[in-house]
Amino acid sequence: MSTEASAVNDTSPPDPNTRSTKDLSKAAVSGWLGTAMEFMDFQLYSLAAAIVFNEIFFPDVSPAIGLLAAMATYGVGYVARLAGAVYFGRMGDRLGRKKVLFITIAMMGVSTTLIGALPTYAQIGLFAPALLVVLRLVQGFGAGAEIAGASVMLVEYAPKGRRGLISSLIALGTNSGTLVATGIWALLLAVLSDEQLHTWGWRIPFLASFVLLVLALWIRRNVKESPVFEARDDVVDGVALDREAVKESKLEAGLKANKGKAFFMALGLRIGQAGNSGLVQTFLVGYIGTTLGLDKSVATDSLLVGSVIGFATVPFVGLLSDRFGRRAMYMTMSTLSIVLAFPMLLLVTGGSTPGLVIGMILGYNVAVVGLFALENVTMSELLGGRNRFTQVGLAKELGGIATVAAGPVIAAGLTAWANSWWPIAVMLMLYSLIALVTAYLMPEVADRDLSALEDAA
């Protein structure tokens, strides 16, 4: 029988693990929206911590100590994120990405909404910051696996040759969330008086986030499971078997080959980007308003413009990584971050508003979202198929605790000690140097077979 006739008479069912362009589009929108929501929550809280929370929840201390306390409260969520990364990461590697991503976004969104309904220190005293910490812990527990799961899911959906570009949608989600949150705060600062902002205006962004939560949950219900997860050797009926129950030599060889080197490489890449993010998106906003004494809207407006420009930066960097490789682009962006650290801070602190805006835009697009455009796809390609969700989540959250949570607090202490801005530039250089060295040491992983159970290094 001819090949053509065989194809015509072939009545075998379609491969259930294949995904259509429509499926890819749904996964992309789901990942983008969930990440946008996480980073909108992140930016809403970080800006609130820098602008009003020190006065609403910590009013009986000096402005500098109030800012430090607000940043510390902001940081506690990262402890819960680590626990969430372990718990939900293991669940995602065993039961699939889709189930976990539905749970995490629900926990994260409900907690964020409830922050907007909290009583203040003036109303219930110390119970107010205590409740704030509780909600930050619940929010962090859900968020600990959100972006890791969304990035793994989308990278596992994306075809070879386009993973960098398609996975950059996750970074665009962070940019979208940052843009929306920053835009909301910029609008509030522009139209509300200081009294209105501190009495009820600060609640609006948190309560309004509920609308995005409902939309994200609806979309995630209709997304299919990752084709890479379903095609794994150890997955039967949608559930990964216990390691002891799997006898395939390919799986056993893959498990023995995982020695942890790739995980520490992923951690190094994460520290570089996350450290820069904590300094630029969180600490500098408070520093500009409190230490430099400028209008608080200047910093938020700068990030707003930077977020708009980021919509071009992120896919461009992702596309270049498909063309030239993840390693080369990581080294390029990290080097640019190091070179621009001191010039950027000179612009921010030089007393010129246009210079400040340019400095913040450069820092945000090069040192923050420029690196983040590479992070998700590179980490997913570095790590093996069996524990990819768990390892990506752990690398992201350990890196976050070491930098995004602790970095703003350390920066506050160092700038107060030095009575100058130069420690911020030094910290930016050190974080970027970690990413540069890691990228130099790691193998090229662009378009690596994601079904491989062993790590790349």
- The more confidently predicted of residues 414 and 290 is 414
Q: If you compute the radius of gyration of the chain from its CA atoms, what whole number of angstroms results?
A: 22
The residues with which 41 forms a beta bridge, in sequence order, are none
Which residue, 69, 44, 43, is CA-closest to 54?
Answer: 69
What pLDDT, on a 0 to 100 scale, did the predictor assign at position 254? 43
Residues 6+ apart with CB under 8 A from 47: 181, 182, 185, 285, 300
Residues 6+ apart with CB under 8 A from 428: 275, 276, 279, 280, 337, 338, 341, 344, 345, 363, 367
Place of tokens 């509300």: 192
Residue 363 near residue 303, CB atoms below 8 Å: no
What pLDDT, on a 0 to 100 scale, did the predictor assign at position 29? 84
Tell me the pTM. 0.80
Residues 6+ apart with CB under 8 A from 159: 166
Say if residue 347's pLDDT is above 90. Answer: yes
The residues with which 240 forms a beta bridge, in sequence order, are 235
Residues in the chain: 457
pLDDT band at 247; cut points 50, 70, 90: very low
SS3 category, 404:
helix
Share of the chain above pLDDT 70, in %: 85
Could you tell me which CATH class the domain 22-231+247-441 is placed in? mainly alpha
Residue 423 to residue 244: CA distance in whole angstroms: 51
Residue 206 near residue 112, CB atoms below 8 Å: yes
The average confidence (pLDDT) of the chain is: 82
Q: C-alpha angle with apex 273: 45 to 39, nearest 5 degrees?
A: 30
Which residue, 234, 176, 170, 223, is CA-closest to 378?
Answer: 170
Highest average pLDDT, of 54-63, 68-77, 175-184, 303-312, comes from: 303-312
Residue 225 to residue 235: CA distance in whole angstroms: 12
- Taken in order 256, 229, 392, 136, the sign of the CA dihedral is negative
Task: Give the other-Cβ count within 10 Å of 2's Cβ.
Answer: 7
> Phi and psi dihedrals of 239, rounded to 5?
-130, 135
SS3 category, 307:
helix
Q: Pairing state of beta strands 235-236 and 239-240?
A: antiparallel
What pLDDT, on a 0 to 100 scale, did the predictor assign at position 15? 41
Residues 6+ apart with CB under 8 A from 107: 138, 139, 141, 142
- The more confidently predicted of residues 191 and 430 is 430
Say if residue 409's pLDDT is above 60. Answer: yes
State the alpha helices, DSSP H only, in 258-402.
261-277, 284-290, 296-324, 326-349, 353-362, 369-382, 388-400
Residue 20 to residue 29: CA distance in whole angstroms: 14
Place of tokens 């812990």: 137
Structure tokens at 404: 């995004």
Place of tokens 């809207």: 297
pLDDT tens track for 184-209? 888 888 888 888 888 888 888 889 88
Residue 200 to residue 184: CA distance in whole angstroms: 14
Residue 404 to residue 410: CA distance in whole angstroms: 10
Q: Provide the 8-state DSSP code for 457.
A: -
pLDDT tens track for 6-58? 333 444 333 444 567 787 888 888 888 888 888 788 778 777 876 777 677 76
Q: C-alpha angle with apex 170: 105 to 275, nearest 5 degrees?
A: 90
Highest average pLDDT, of 21-35, 157-171, 268-282, 326-340, comes from: 326-340
Residue 228 near residue 385, CB atoms below 8 Å: yes
Residue 345 near residue 424, CB atoms below 8 Å: yes
User: What DSSP string runs through 138-180?
Assistant: HHHHHHTTHHHHHHHHHHHHSPTT-HHHHHHHHHHHHHHHHHH
Task: Give the other-Cβ count within 10 Å of 235's Cβ.
Answer: 22
